[in-house]
Structure 1
Amino acid sequence: MHVVVLGAGYAGLSLVRRLESRLPPAVDVTLVNDGAEHVLIHEAHRAIRRPALADAISVSIPDVLDRTEFVNARVDSVEFDAGRAVLDDGEALSWDYGAVCLGSETEYYGIEGLREHATPMKSLADAATIREGFRSVREAGGRAVVGGAGLSGVQVAGELTALAREEEFAVPEEVEVVLLERFDGVAPNFPANFRRAVHDELLERDVDVRTGTAVERVGPERVVTEEGELRYDQLIWTGGITGPAAADGNRPTVRADLRAADRTLALGDAARIVDADGEPVPASASAAIREAKTAAENLSRLVEADRSESVEAFRPRLSQYRFDVPGWIVSIGEGTVAQVGSTVLRGSAAKAAKASVGAGYLTSIGAARNAGSLAEEELR
């Protein structure tokens, strides 16, 4: 029997690590990923200001696998119902049971000129591009515009204002960082007290926050909004996500058992998940890691049922994912905001919480050395 996991992001790698201990040795497990490194994407924005951090947040995938076959390849297409994927070399890969964990891509919403003129923030390569582009903004005293005030946009804006203040640049007061959001507040999908704390932290970090401002079209030097034109020297876009190209940009809606088809699960950002309470699950690293636990339980039960020597076939009872995370954390330059339960933290307490979460996750996937390095960087 063959179990295949497509994608080694938070959902995919967490899932494989659990399957290695849950599935019988006779079951083959294959992990496919475009690249041999797992990157903590929720920390990638920090490489804009501290490129050396890339080492701490990059994990060699083969090094943390015990018995899984790793295939370094891009997935070109996925057939959920057929249980089949086609890789970039033309090879077709089929499975008895599989999980699609291919993450998401940047959504440009068909806004004229946006894709051509904006840099996304989805990888360490994007972080390097943003850092290089901001160099001329800092040196000449210009304006960087960040579109989208979800957590990714908030973090990028915070890193840019912090970078502008570094001693090697003489005119930080002439550098502007503008954060645009079409909804009425920053971090619009999060609790009200968390949103307020994030907004206050952004203002304290000298980010020009403009909410209720939708981007209509983009030119080489101008963003056109409902409020008028806004000149920019650098444009970064973090305004939304769409499904992976291998799924034609689709994010299938799946119920709490995470099944997108009879023998294929979908989780993480690659799917729109409705949990056991009928509530939509926000796309986030925290949710993806917890979804992997439910997916591992369900795949194990399905495999066990298929391997059963019982004369009577049975349908195993599958676990239902319920969205329940202990809180939220976001870094904004040198500042951090954390919500733990109903309590919102800022400053050193929030930074310590962030260090604990990042190190804990790295330890859970077998990257203890990275965990130590990241904790040291967080608390520096």
Structure 2
Amino acid sequence: MRVLVLGAGYAGLTLARDLERRLPAAVELTVVNDSPFHLVQHEVHRAIRRPSVADAIEVPLDEALDRAEIVVDRVTDIDRTSRRVHLADSDPLDYDYCAVCLGATTAYYDIPGLESHAIPLKSLDDAAAIRARYFDACDDGGRVVVGGAGLSGIQVAGELATLSAEEDAHTDIVLVEQLDTVAPSFPEAFQRAVRDELLDRGVEIRTETTIESVSASTVETDTGDLEYELLVWAGGLAGQDAMGADRPTVRADLRLDRRTYVVGDAARAMDANGEPVPASASAAIREAKIVGENIAEQVAHEQAGDIGDFPPRPRQYRFDVPGWIVSVGDGAVAQVGPSIFCGSAAKAMKATVGAGHLTSVGAISKAAELVEEELNS
């Protein structure tokens, strides 16, 4: 019997470590990832201003996992009918149970010129490209446009504004959002605090502004054109090619079918209360723990040979996180319950969140590195 985990982001690595503990030794556990590293995605923006953070936020999979087979390859197709996963450079892998944890890619919404002229932020290579472009074109002034004021766009704008201040470059940082507020999916008190932190760092915020097309030097919007030297796009999520470029909607049991789950940003999940689950690391990690329990129980039932018995009823995911946190350059905003924190308290919380995740995947020394980087940023 084989269990496949596709992807080793927050959801995939959490699930794989959980299954190493839960599954019988006779069950094959295979993790497929397009890199030999787990990346702490919510800290990638730090590498724009502090490239040294890169080492702290990459964890070798062979150090994070004990018994799982690791296949470094790209998933190209998932055939649920035959229960077979096709890879770019390796033989196909058959499965008895599979968890799709491939995350999402960047959505460009068919906006003319956007994909060819903008830099996304999905990897350390993207962070390096943003930094290089900034120093090539913006370190003595000019304008940076950041599209999308979700958490990723907020963090990019904050890093670049702080970098500009550190370099005394007087670069204009403009954050563009189609909706009427920054952090539009979050509580109002959080939105207001984030907006204040951005304004304090000199970020110009243009809400209710839709990007209509992009050329090599101009962002055309419905409220006027913006000349730019650097354009960063953080405007949305799209499905991976292996999922037919789709992010399927799944119910609270997170199943595509009886033997195939989808976890994290690879899907649009509805929780046990019928509410949509926001795309976030904390949600992905919690979803993974539910799926780990469900797969382990299904495997145990099947191995017991009780064919006539009803299979175990899968547990359902209920969205519940203690709060939210986002970096804004050399500061941060955190919400815990109804309370909002900024300044040193929020920075300490942000450092604790990243370090806590690294510790949870066994990377204790990297957790210490990240705390030092965060608190000195």
Q: Same fold (TM over 0.5)?
A: yes
Which stretches of structure 1, 4 residues or more, deviate above 4 A after TM superposition? none
Q: For residue 140 of structure 1, report the CA deviation from its aligned partner.
A: 3.1
Correspondence for 1:165: 165
- Secondary structure of the corresponding residue to residue 119 of structure 1: coil
- Which ranges of structure 2 fall in alignment gaps of 5 or more residues? none
Q: Secondary structure at the match of 1:3?
A: strand
The residue number in structure 2 matching 1:296 is 292
Alignment of 1:29-44 (within 5 A): 29-44=29-44
Whole-Å separation in 2 of the counterparts to 1:277 and 1:264: 22
The residue that corresponds to 1:258 in the other structure is 254
- Please report how far the alpha carbon of residue 80 of structure 1 lies from its aligned counterpart in structure 2 after TM superposition: 3.3
1:1-380 matched pairs, under 5 angstroms: 1-89=1-89, 91-166=91-166, 169-170=167-168, 172-173=169-170, 175-310=171-306, 312-380=308-376
- Alpha-carbon distance, 1:269 to partner: 0.5
1:349-375 Cα shifts (integer Å, max 9, x gaps):
111111111111111111111111111
1:140 is paired with a residue of what secondary structure? coil
Structure 1 unaligned spans of 5+: none
Q: Using a 3 Å threshold, how does the CA distance of structure 1 residues 100 and 311 change in structure 2: closer, same or farther?
A: closer
CA contact (8 A) 1:15 1:295 kept: yes
Write the letter of the residue equivalent to 1:24: P
> Is the Cα contact below 8 Å between 1:81 and 1:261 reproduced in 2?
no
Residues 305 and 314, structure 1, Cα contact 8 Å, conserved in 2: no
Per the TM alignment, residue 83 of structure 1 is displaced from its structure 2 partner at its CA by: 2.2
**Counterpart amino acid of residue 154 in structure 2:** V
Q: Distance in 2 between matches of 1:361 and 1:140?
A: 38
Aligned residue for 1:62, secondary structure, equals helix
* 1:56 alignment partner, SS class: helix
**Which piece of structure 1 moves more, 302-311 or 29-38?**
302-311
The superposition leaves residues 167-187 of structure 1 with CA deviations (integer Å, 9 ceiling, x where unpaired) of xx35x23x1000000000001
Mean alpha-carbon deviation: is it higher for 91-100 or for 312-321?
312-321
Partners of 1:206 and 1:161 lie apart in 2 by 7
Amino acid at match of 2:234: T
Q: How many residues align?
A: 376
Match of 2:70, SS state, is strand
Paired residues of 1:137 and 1:144 also in contact (CA < 8 A): no
Instruction: For residue 148 of structure 1, report the CA deviation from its aligned partner.
Output: 0.3
2:3–2:29 Cα contact (<8 Å) kept:
yes
The whole-number CA distance in structure 1 between the counterparts of 2:241 and 2:202 is 37
Aligned 8 A contact 1:184 1:211 in 2: yes
Quick one: structure 1 residues 150 and 311, their matched pair in 2 at CA, closer, same or farther if it must change by over 3 Å?
closer
